Every structure is written in C-alpha cells, then in structure tokens.
Amino acid sequence: MIYPIVIYGSPILRNVSEDITPDYPDLKKLIEDMFLTMREAEGVGLAAPQIGKNIRLFVVDCTPWAEENPELADYRRAFINAEILEESEETDLFNEGCLSLPGLHENVRRPIAIRMRWMDEDFNEHDEWIDGLPARVIQHEYDHLEGEVFTDHLSPLRRNLLKNKLTNLTKGKYRAHYRTK
Ligand code: NI
C-alpha cells in the first residue's frame, strides 16, 4: 500500500514520536509499505510521522547516489527506536528537501557524523558511527521523530524569506507529483 504523505502544517509533524516494541502490529508490512511510498515519491528517506504515524521508525534509501558512491549500492535500511548519542564537531552544508515540504530546497548545516543506537527491522540492536550521505539523510529523518523539519535549522532571516512558501503549504497551495494529505 502506498500512503499519502502528510504535508507541513499538520500537527502530526510537530509531535515527538514514541518508541515501538517488536509486537507492533504488522511491522514488516508497514516497513515494506514505507519503502514503496518513498520510492513512489522518489525520496531518499521517509519517517513514520510523514505517513501519519507518530512512532520512531524511518526508512532510508541512498542508492540514487550509488553511481558516485559504490558503497551505497545496497543502502536501503529501516531504523527503529533510533537515538542519536554523539555528533561530530565538524559540520557541513547540504541542499535538503523534504517530501512533506514540496518545492522547498535549502542548504542546511549539520554534523558530518553521528553515533546512533537503533534496532533494525528484526529488532537487532546496533550502535555505530555513521558518516557521509547516510548520516545526512538519517539526521533529517531523525528530526521528524522529534517533531522538527529541516527549515527549523535555517537562520531567522532565511526562514522569514520562506514565510510565504511555508504558509502556502499549510493552506494546501503546492504541487507534488505524489499523493498527499
Ligand atoms: Ni523530511
């Protein structure tokens, strides 16, 4: 099943999401559907709040970058109950977009590496340092679990310049090539 994607302005995107347990109903199917929904929308990440569920689950697909980064050729992963434990001091800028904010793309400064603990889809625990493009996508998706979106990271001046675009999103005035709600 392909889910419609929740757009900026919905309170669902502003809630802090809750951990889940291995007995969460139809978890495997939900993860599969999130991958489907992400692929259909041509995204590289999708967090559960973006399909209307305030649970700590997101999926990441870095394979669109595999041509220049062969190590990402099979980088399709689900992250459950993720918790960022440490961040590198070094940061960089990257032009981000979000399926919940169609039409907006902005440079966002973030740490280049993070240490994160999470469960994979079989509920095996991992605790690893992650860097490169996966670290970038993961931090963006992690924000969604905390009720944040990428525009929250911009300077007040930059955010002010985007005010009309953000207001238009909340009013349903936007174009997206995927189903939204
Ligand atoms: Ni996003």
Distance 173 CA to ligand 1 centre (A): 18
Find the catalytic residue in 71, 141, 146, 148.
141
What would the two tokens of residue 154 be? 């911009």
115: CB partners within 8 A, 6+ apart: 84, 85, 86, 87, 127, 128, 129, 130
CA–CA dist 50, 99 (Å, integer): 8
> If you measure from the C-alpha of residue 138 to the centroid of ligand 1, how many angstroms do you get, rounded to a whole number?
10
Mean pLDDT of 19-43: 97
At 71, the pLDDT band (50, 70, 90 cuts) reads: very high
CA 132 – ligand 1 centroid, Å? 18
Q: How many Å apart are CA 69 and CA 50, to the nearest integer?
A: 27
Residue 177 CB: number of other CB atoms within 10 A? 9
pLDDT band at 68, cuts 50/70/90? very high
pLDDT of residue 78: 98
Q: Give residue for tokens 């992250």.
A: 79
Residues with CB under 5 A from ligand 1 (ion): 98
Q: Is 42 a catalytic residue?
A: no
Note the pLDDT tens digit of each residue in 124-152: 999 999 999 999 999 999 999 999 999 99
